[in-house]
């Protein structure tokens, strides 16, 4: 009986030790892949677009209201994520009459589709390119969702005045507005719209 109790005790001890080791291992594994969360600093970020007018000149605009979050896992770029949310009604081309037209049903239909969103589905390091990421995700504009792939440059890393970690990104890419159901004024206004997203993000 004493021998059995001893064996049982040792069995419990060994079992407990295994559990502790497993918990420790899981904790180490999880901590190795904890994402660093960065919030977009909208005061130092811009979303700009460019369209050609009458085949002659480029007209530029921007969106004044947007939010975004980036999650970075240093050990595995594939676990990185990017999300943006843009208020369509915040479109600003420096001309109020034109901006009102862009907000209505000929273009953004901002009341019906108030948000333009982007959510990444895959992030990878660009082969042979330092500080360039290839980001694939769903862009939803004017009620239409399409998958796009863009190159994103990491433009810098630094510490802020209070010691917070900062990181910068920039991407320039082109979409066809007709693919998102925005077909008004074709010919006078280009189908190809070039977009530049330049952001500074703060570690949270």
Position 27 confidence tier, pLDDT thresholds 50, 70, 90 = very low
For residues 75 and 87, which has the higher predicted lDDT (pLDDT)? 87
Q: Is the pLDDT of residue 17 over 50?
A: no
DSSP H or E run through 56: none
pLDDT tens track for 166-181: 999 999 999 999 999 9
- The b/e string for 26-55 (b: 16+ C-beta within 10 A; e otherwise) is eeeeeeeeeeeebebeeeebebebbbbeee
pLDDT at 75: 77
pLDDT at 33: 54
pLDDT tens track for 103-147: 999 999 999 999 999 999 999 999 888 899 999 999 999 999 999
- Residue 195 CA from chain centroid, whole number: 14
pLDDT tens track for 34-72: 679 999 999 999 999 999 999 999 999 999 999 999 999
- Residue 16 CA from chain centroid, whole number: 43
């Amino acid at each position: 009986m004493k021998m059995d109790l001893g064996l049982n005790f040792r069995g419990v001890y060994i079992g407990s030790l295994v559990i502790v080791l497993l918990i420790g291992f899981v904790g180490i594994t999880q901590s190795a892949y904890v994402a660093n969360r960065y919030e977009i600093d909208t005061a130092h970020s811009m979303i700009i677009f460019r369209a050609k007018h009458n085949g002659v000149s480029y007209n530029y605009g921007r969106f004044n209201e947007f939010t975004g979050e980036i999650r970075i896992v240093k050990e595995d770029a594939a676990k990185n994520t990017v999300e943006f949310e843009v208020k369509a009604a915040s479109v600003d081309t420096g001309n109020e009459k034109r901006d009102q037209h862009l907000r209505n049903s000929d273009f953004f239909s901002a009341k019906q589709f108030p948000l333009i969103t982007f959510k990444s589905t895959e992030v990878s390091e660009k082969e042979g390119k330092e500080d360039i990421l290839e980001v694939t995700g769903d862009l939803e504009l004017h009620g239409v969702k399409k998958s796009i792939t863009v190159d994103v440059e990491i433009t810098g890393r630094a510490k802020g005045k209070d010691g917070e970690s900062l990181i910068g990104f920039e991407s320039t890419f082109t979409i066809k507005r007709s693919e998102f159901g925005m077909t008004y004024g074709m010919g006078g206004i280009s189908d190809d719209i070039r977009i530049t997203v330049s952001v500074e993000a703060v570690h949270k």
